[in-house]
Amino acid sequence: MTWFRAGSSVAKLAIRRTLSQGGSNASRTRLVPSGNRYFHSTISKSKAQSAPVPRAVPLSRLTDSFLDGTSSVYLEELQRAWEADPNSVDESWDNFFRNFVGQAATTPGISGQTIQESMRLLLLVRAYQVYGHMKANLDPLGLEKREIPDDLDPALYGFSEADLDREFFLGVWRMSGFLSENRPVQTLRAILTRLEQAYCGSIGFEYMHIADREQCNWLRDRIETPIPMAYNRQRREVILDRLIWSTQFENFLATKWTAAKRFGLEGGETLIPGMKEMFDRSADLGVESIVIGMSHRGRLNVLGNVVRKPLRQIFNEFSGGIKPAEGLYTGTGDVKYHLGTSYDRPTRGGKRIHLSLVANPSHLEAVDPVVVGKTRAKQYYSNDVDRTKNMGILIHGDGSFAGQGVVYETLHLSALPNYTTGGTIHIVVNNQVAFTTDPQSGRSSQYCTDVAKALNAPIFHVNGDDVEAVVHACELAAEWRQTFHTDVVVDIVCYRRFGHNEIDEPSFTQPKMYKVIRNHPSALEIYQNKLLETGQVTKEDIDKIHNKVTSILNEEFLASKDYVPQKGDWLSAFWSGFKSPEQLSRIRNTGVKPEILKNVGKAIATLPENFKPHRAVKKIFADRLKMIETGEGVDWAVGEALAFATLLVEGNHVRLSGQDVERGTFSHRHSVVHDQETGERYCPLDHVVMNQNEEMFTVSNSSLSEFGVLGFELGYSMENPNSLVIWEAQFGDFANGAQVIFDQFLSSGEAKWLRQIGLVVLLPHGYDGQGPEHSSARLERFLQMSDDNPFVIPEMEPTLRNQIQKCNWQVVNVTTPANYFHVLRRQIHREFRKPLIVMAPKNLLRHKDCKSNLSEFDDVQGHPGFDKQGTRFKRLIKDQSGHSDLEEGIRRLVLCSGKVYYELDEKRKSTESKDVAICRVEQLCPFPYDLIQRELKRYPNAEIVWCQEEPMNMGAYSYIAPRLATAMKAVDRGNLDNINYVGRGPSAATATGFYTVHVKEQAALVEKAITSDSITNPTLA
Ligand SMILES: Cc1ncc(C[n+]2csc(CCOP(=O)(O)OP(=O)(O)O)c2C)c(N)n1
Ligand SMILES: [Mg+2]
């Protein structure tokens, strides 16, 4: 059936989009009216005059072009064979002949219809399905000049005006719409009229790239209806009402705050009725909750009219901003068009739908994966297994949708089992300009939505001036999503009536476009006139709605003057019972009862009896079981699995995602084991509690994306505090591919939007000779973004300490499995949430000394991890030589962080440097002033060394130095000049690429830290 797909590979047409800036504006090639209106004016002359006479061509050529005619000889032979024995031809040809030849023989009206004509007509219909959108009337300004493909010209198929009133039967096996076998015989004229209406009106349907026949037929059923779809009076009134709200909202803001930036929706006002319809229809089809992500354009209109943030609150924010109640943590706040909110909105069908608009930074599209992740989490928590109750909607700009890579990274998560949300609906507010950039400078593809084709998503391009078409496209998108559970795109082609923002002058750069815009009626005016023409609505009806809206807007404006923001407005995302930074949260222990450790330990170290793991994995699991049974030598992977398992037992959800996390990049985790004979997978952490929900523990290899996947996990972690959500980078340096998420959300989200986030990020880090790209997770960047004051020691008394709550995030570089276990559990066992950045180990995963005893994980008094307060994460690990509270004989105190500790310790042992003490700063941020001071006091005569393996301009040095100096000054131990640096010198690259150089450098720095007599202080050098 290759010919059947012919349409999708025809005519590679170069599309020239010449916008506005030259030549006549309205020179789109359109159908010639009256007599021959189906034949293109541009091509019909030459080609129609010499209408092709059918000539024999090999059938195979039909797959390449419609232009070559058909093979009559071949068909006739086939037909003869079929007449002799219908079974002698392929089933598809059998159907074909039954339909066409059979009909032709029995229906006098179509007796002149030849097989060739039928085939050519079929191809024409097919061409409309494939290319109809290229002739659709999409641009409200009429500026876009697109060439209409020749394939839509009936003359190309040998039809002339003389054929228009001849009757044709079209019917193809297992097809819907025009080509369905049930359609009656029609004249060519009627067929062409409906084709034009269906495919070349205000909506351009792009769906023939979808390989699934059922999906295409579903769409054809809705597009190729026997008569065009029309809304009744009642629906039209609702649409009108919504369009008036949308239009007046912007007008009102424009008159009250003439110079305020609001990134108005003018020119794209039909978005609002479209969205509302989409939500109503979605609610009718079972959606209960929608997570929305969008950027600046029209955001206030969406907030006010769709999400229903109180208008008085929006106006209040315009008039002078937010004045939160005294004493409350306010953070930095953010501009009004970035703030999120949520609301339960009643729908047309009488249901309620929960809407949340996620706060977003100005970085366009960065919110996309966050919205999808949050939606997925909502689905988990509401047991929405079909993914039909919770849905994500993303609103894009044309420039950003085409240009930002995270759009693709997000789209590409849509069908992955552990990331899918059952389809996101994308709406593009395509105002045909991005700030000052025209589409031809902003993208290489015909449409700004072309990236979505990679996903097999249908794309509905719709003229933004035709509100009913917008509403219809939005409705269809909602139905598609609930039917096929995949992404769908609505591209509203509109314009931007004013500049990029309200104080911008658009004519500097788009003079012709703005000349047209100045005289262009609004979508509301166009719709009002249309309704008046139909007589369905009177001028009085329209005025009534306008007056109602004006008076509500005025009332709300008056009320906004006395509006006092409530705590709920500002802190709406705080989970109930959770503490804000100004409320002290008690520090809790994280140790676990020994019997629980043993029980879960067995579960995570045991594989099913008949399971046949890889030999090496079998040994790993046998070793794990031994660690649990003996309570000794617990390694990193088991420490981590114990943290996950104990959190699961306590009823928390645990999710770990990232590239190759199931096995672990360094082949250490083996959280999913593969049967070597059957390929079956087994995940021990799925079997920690009785009848455990499959998703309660989720570990998932991700797509090869950092920005998209980290954003997704961030969104996921925002939904419910009782979840440990972790993103692991393959190597720490790859985290910079997700820099926007670190900068805009993780490090500053709470300060800007008061959203607490408990996300954990594991970034493999450490100098082991793997070269510049695999050594460093760029620790310095995370520390530089940390907001703990380097010159002020906060309250450190254990019962009053809220240092972490007040800090933007935590950065740790832990060195023992037990401490890793406790820092993960601490994320959940506290009354607030804070992002955790972990410099994760590589060679410590198998290091002989990097082991913990099970007794360090439990909460038993007297056990090694148990100190005055119980068993907790250790922010600093003191020297392990059994030093007393005062060690006057120690000549040097080496402070370090991370795996270099083990090398320093080994050197100390081998050189018997007993006068050197080594302390590990496990938590770098916020800085453990109290514990550092404790160690300074313990070694009153020691010179102080900061040792790191990173270059001087990297690693923790520049973060540590001022803080350590502050701690030293406070206990009279000197200042910055007294901090001696040992580490690599400044460097542009993070590490050497030569292994031998690495080894030499590493040995030298370790040697210098432990054995050298004097260390030249870089600050004094
Ligand atoms: C990642 C990113 N790059 C650049 C900008 C600056 N910027 C803000 S709006 C804008 C134009 C966006 O155009 P489009 O996506 O078409 O949306 P429109 O403003 O036209 O609605 C640009 C370049 C930004 N906010 N984010
Ligand atoms: Mg734009």
> Is 195 strand, coil or helix?
helix
The tokens describing 676, both together, are 């070597």
Q: What is the pLDDT of residue 863?
A: 82
220: part of which helix (H) or strand (E)?
A: helix 213-223
Predicted confidence (pLDDT) per residue in 195-210, tens digit: 999 999 999 999 999 9
Ligand 1 in reach of 282 Cβ (< 6 A)? no
Peptide bond between residue 926 and the one before it cis (omega within 30 degrees of 0): yes
Ligand 1 in reach of 363 Cβ (< 6 A)? yes
Ligand 1 in reach of 951 Cβ (< 6 A)? no
Q: What is the pLDDT of residue 791?
A: 97
Cβ-contact 48, 155 below 8 angstroms: yes
Ligand 1 in reach of 362 Cβ (< 6 A)? yes
Q: What is the pLDDT of residue 319?
A: 80
Cβ-contact 107, 178 below 8 angstroms: no
Q: Which atom of ligand 1 is nearest to the CA of 430?
A: 16
Q: Which atom of ligand 1 is nearest to the CA of 431?
A: 20
Average pLDDT over residues 474-499: 97
Comparing 340-354, 622-636, 772-786, which segment has the lowest mean pLDDT? 340-354
Q: How far is CA 768 from CA 297, 616, 666, in A?
A: 48, 24, 13
Does 83 or 816 have the greater pLDDT score? 816
Percent of the chain scored above 70 by pLDDT?
88
The tokens describing 70, both together, are 């058909």
CA-CA-CA-CA torsion sign (454, 459, 461, 464): negative
Alpha carbon of 262 to ligand 1 centroid (Å) = 14
Cβ-contact 413, 372 below 8 angstroms: yes
Q: What is the pLDDT of residue 22?
A: 32
Distance of alpha carbon 290 from alpha carbon 390, whole angstroms: 6
- Count the neighbouring beta carbons within 10 Å of the beta carbon of residue 299: 23
Alpha carbon of 747 to ligand 2 centroid (Å) = 29
Q: Which band of pLDDT confidence, cut at 50, 70 and 90, is reported for residue 56?
A: very low
Ligand 1 in reach of 381 Cβ (< 6 A)? no
708: part of which helix (H) or strand (E)?
A: helix 707-719
Which residue, 430, 466, 465, is CA-closest to 447? 430
Comparing 248-252, 261-265, 647-651, 937-941, which segment has the lowest mean pLDDT? 261-265
Q: Is the pLDDT of residue 403 over 90?
A: yes
Q: Which band of pLDDT confidence, cut at 50, 70 and 90, is reported for residue 712?
A: very high
Alpha carbon of 397 to ligand 1 centroid (Å) = 7
How high is the mean pLDDT of the chain?
A: 88
Sequence letter at residue 462? V
Alpha carbon of 780 to ligand 1 centroid (Å) = 30
Alpha carbon of 296 to ligand 1 centroid (Å) = 8
> Is 671 strand, coil or helix?
coil
Q: What is the pLDDT of residue 865?
A: 75
Comparing 28-37, 410-419, 615-624, which segment has the lowest mean pLDDT? 28-37
Distance of alpha carbon 47 from alpha carbon 42, whole angstroms: 10
Alpha carbon of 827 to ligand 1 centroid (Å) = 36
965: part of which helix (H) or strand (E)?
A: helix 957-970
Average pLDDT over residues 500-522: 92
Pocket test residue of 19, 435, 447, 707 for ligand 1, highest count of atoms within 8 A of CB:
435
Q: Which atom of ligand 1 is nearest to the CA of 263?
A: 19
Q: What is the pLDDT of residue 766?
A: 97
Q: What is the pLDDT of residue 72?
A: 52
Q: Which atom of ligand 1 is nearest to the CA of 434?
A: 13
Distance of alpha carbon 603 from alpha carbon 687, whole angstroms: 7
In the block, residue with structure tokens 């658009």: 506
Ligand 1 in reach of 462 Cβ (< 6 A)? no
Q: Which atom of ligand 1 is nearest to the CA of 397?
A: 15
Nearest bound ligand to CA 739?
A: 1
Distance of alpha carbon 414 from alpha carbon 419, whole angstroms: 6
Q: Which atom of ligand 1 is nearest to the CA of 740?
A: 1
For ligand 1, atom 9, name the residue with the nearest CA: 435
Ligand 1 in reach of 398 Cβ (< 6 A)? yes
The tokens describing 887, both together, are 């060690």
Pocket test residue of 400, 404, 492, 743 for ligand 1, highest count of atoms within 8 A of CB:
400
Q: Which atom of ligand 1 is nearest to the CA of 404?
A: 1
Q: Which band of pLDDT confidence, cut at 50, 70 and 90, is reported for residue 27?
A: very low
Distance of alpha carbon 128 from alpha carbon 178, whole angstroms: 11
In the block, residue with structure tokens 């991370």: 898
Which residue, 667, 684, 660, 686, is CA-closest to 616? 667
The tokens describing 265, both together, are 């929706």
Alpha carbon of 705 to ligand 2 centroid (Å) = 26
Alpha carbon of 1021 to ligand 2 centroid (Å) = 55
Cβ-contact 295, 397 below 8 angstroms: yes
Ligand 1 in reach of 434 Cβ (< 6 A)? yes
Which residue, 622, 586, 583, 592, is CA-closest to 605? 622
Q: Is the pLDDT of residue 43 over 60?
A: no
For ligand 1, atom 20, name the residue with the nearest CA: 434
Question: Which of the given ranges, 19-28, 37-46, 622-631, 796-805, has the highest pLDDT on average?
Answer: 622-631
Question: Which of the given ranges, 19-33, 744-758, 827-841, 865-879, has the highest pLDDT on average?
Answer: 827-841
Q: Is the pLDDT of residue 312 over 70?
A: yes
Kindly give, in sequence order, each residue whose CB lies less than 8 Å from that of residue 23, ignoring residues fewer than 6 positions away: 145
Q: Is the pLDDT of residue 64 over 60?
A: no
- Any idea what DSSP says for residue 890? -
Percent of the chain scored above 90 by pLDDT?
73
Distance of alpha carbon 439 from alpha carbon 519, whole angstroms: 22
Q: Which atom of ligand 1 is nearest to the CA of 403?
A: 15
- Where would I find the H helices in 329-416? 368-381, 398-403, 405-411
Pocket test residue of 262, 300, 301, 364 for ligand 1, highest count of atoms within 8 A of CB:
364
Q: What is the pLDDT of residue 798?
A: 86
Instruction: Phi first, then psi: give them for residue 592, nearest 5 degrees.
Output: -130, 150
Comparing 30-34, 322-326, 785-789, which segment has the lowest mean pLDDT? 30-34
Ligand 1 in reach of 432 Cβ (< 6 A)? no
Torsion of CA 970, 972, 976, 979, to 10 degrees: -120
Alpha carbon of 504 to ligand 1 centroid (Å) = 14
Average pLDDT over residues 293-315: 92
Distance of alpha carbon 391 from alpha carbon 81, whole angstroms: 54
Ligand 1 in reach of 402 Cβ (< 6 A)? no
Q: Is the pLDDT of residue 374 over 60?
A: yes
Ligand 1 in reach of 397 Cβ (< 6 A)? yes
Q: Which atom of ligand 1 is nearest to the CA of 398?
A: 16
Cβ-contact 401, 407 below 8 angstroms: yes
Cβ-contact 796, 929 below 8 angstroms: yes
Nearest bound ligand to CA 396?
A: 1
Q: Is the pLDDT of residue 16 over 70?
A: no
Alpha carbon of 323 to ligand 2 centroid (Å) = 33
In the block, residue with structure tokens 């026997």: 226
Which residue, 986, 981, 883, 901, is CA-closest to 940? 883
Longest dimension (CA), the chain: 115
The tokens describing 374, both together, are 């949050």
Q: Which band of pLDDT confidence, cut at 50, 70 and 90, is reported for residue 14?
A: very low
Average pLDDT over residues 956-974: 98
Nearest bound ligand to CA 265?
A: 1
Q: What is the pLDDT of residue 258?
A: 81
Ligand 1 in reach of 406 Cβ (< 6 A)? no
Distance of alpha carbon 195 from alpha carbon 157, whole angstroms: 15
Predicted confidence (pLDDT) per residue in 538-568, tens digit: 999 999 999 999 999 999 999 998 888 665 5
Q: What is the pLDDT of residue 1017?
A: 63
Alpha carbon of 363 to ligand 1 centroid (Å) = 8
